[in-house]
Chains A and B, each alone.
Chain A
Amino acid sequence: MEEASLSPSRPGTPGREGDTPLEPPTVVRFDDVSKVYNGATTKAVDGVSLDIRAGEFFSILGPSGSGKTSCLRMIAGFEQPSSGRILLDGVDVQGIPPYRRDVNTVFQNYALFPHMSIEANVSYPLRMHRVAKHEIDERVSETLALVEMEELRKRFPHQLSGGQRQRAALARALVGRPKVLLLDEPLGALDLQLRQQMQLALKQLQRDVGITFVYVTHDQGEALSMSDRMAVMSTGHIEQVGTPREVYFHPNTPFVAGFIGKANLGRGTVVLESGATVGHWGGISFPMAADTPLGPCAFSLRHESVSLSDGAGDIAVRGTVEEVVFLGDSSEVMVAVDGVTLVAKAPAHIGFALSNGQAITVSFKASEVVRIDG
Chain B
Amino acid sequence: MTSPEVSVAPAGVISMESALRVIRSLFAWAGFIAVYLFLYTPLVTIGIFAFNDSTVQALPWSGFTLQWFGAIGQNGLLFSALTFGLSVSLLVVAVASVVGTYFAVVVNSATGAAPRVLLAAVIIPAIVPGMVLGLSLAITFRLVGIPAGLWSIVIGHLAFTVPVVTLVVLTRLRRLDPSLTQASMDLGANGWRTFWHVTFPQLRTAILAAALLTLTLSFDEVVITFFLAGTQQTLPLFIWSQTRFGFTPEINAIVTIIGAVSIVLIVIATRVIEREVDPFAGTGRKRRSRRGR
Contact = CB atoms under 8 A, between A and B. Distances in A.
A244 interface: no
A113 B183 contact: yes
B289 A176 contact: no
Nearest to B285: A158
Nearest to B181: A111
A98 B288 contact: no
Interface in B176-222: 177, 179-180, 182-190, 193, 197-198, 201-202
A159 B288 contact: yes
Given A109-B179, A114-B279, A98 B186 contact: yes
Given A109-B179, A113-B183, A113-B198, A128 B188 contact: yes
B189 to A, nearest CB: 4
Nearest to A194: B293
Interface string B254-293: 0000000000000000000000000110001101111011
A103 B182 CA distance: 13
A99 B190 contact: yes
Contacts of A135: none
Contact of B288 (A158, A172, A194): A158
Interface residues of A, number: 36
A176 B183 CA distance: 13
Nearest to A149: B292
Nearest to A175: B187
A159 B198 contact: no
Best-surrounded residue of B186, B290, B293 (most CB of chain A within 10 A): B186
A326 interface: no
Contacts of A373: none
Given A158-B280, A161-B289, A111 B185 contact: no
A115 interface: yes
A8 B279 CA distance: 50
| Chain B, interface residues (CB within 8 Å), range | 20 to 34
B289 A160 contact: yes
Best-surrounded residue of A103, A114, A194 (most CB of chain B within 10 A): A114
A133 interface: no
A291 to B, nearest CB: 48
Given A158-B284, A161-B290, A111 B182 contact: yes
A172 B186 CA distance: 11
A152 interface: yes
A334 interface: no
Given A107-B183, A111-B183, A152 B202 contact: no
A81 B285 CA distance: 41
Contact of B180 (A113, A160, A194): A113
Contacts of A99: 185-190
Contacts of B288: 158-161
A220 interface: no
Contact of A125 (B179, B180, B188, B280): B188
A111 B179 contact: yes
Interface in A95-129: 97-99, 103-105, 107, 109, 111-115, 124-125, 128-129
Interface of A: 76-78, 97-99, 103-105, 107, 109, 111-115, 124-125, 128-129, 148-149, 151-152, 155, 158-161, 163-164, 172-173, 176, 194, 197
Given A99-B186, A124-B189, A176-B188, 11 more contacts: A78-B186, A98-B185, A105-B186, A107-B183, A115-B202, A128-B193, A155-B289, A159-B288, A164-B289, A173-B187, A194-B293
Question: Which 9 A/B pairs are nearest by Cβ-Cβ distance?
Answer: A125-B187, A128-B188, A111-B183, A111-B179, A98-B185, A128-B189, A115-B201, A158-B280, A105-B186
16 contacts: A76-B186, A99-B185, A99-B188, A99-B190, A111-B177, A113-B184, A114-B180, A124-B184, A124-B197, A125-B188, A128-B189, A155-B289, A160-B288, A161-B288, A161-B289, A197-B293
